[in-house]
Amino acid sequence: MEEYTLTVFSKLGEKLMDETFTAQNNEEAKAIGQRRLDENGYSEYTHRCVSPQAKLVLFHR
């Protein structure tokens, strides 16, 4: 299991969400990240999910 970081920003650049979660791989992390975005109503906000190797797993601008 590896730790991934999900961050959501407002249009003004303020962090609305910044949390870490564990997943077995990038595909699982993408699914978990998208689910958390949907649950919190942040799907259409600027967001990113980054792997421990600093790869973007999920991104929306």
Give pLDDT tens digits for 1-47. 999 999 999 999 999 999 999 999 999 999 999 999 999 999 999 99
Sheet with 56-60, edge to edge strand ranges: 15-23, 2-9, 46-50, 56-60
Q: Which residues contact 10 (CB under 8 A, 6 or more apart)?
A: 16, 45, 46
| Spatial separation of the C-alpha atoms in residues 22 and 2, rounded to whole Å | 5
| Residue 53 binned pLDDT confidence (cut-offs 50, 70, 90) | very high
Quote the pTM value.
0.92
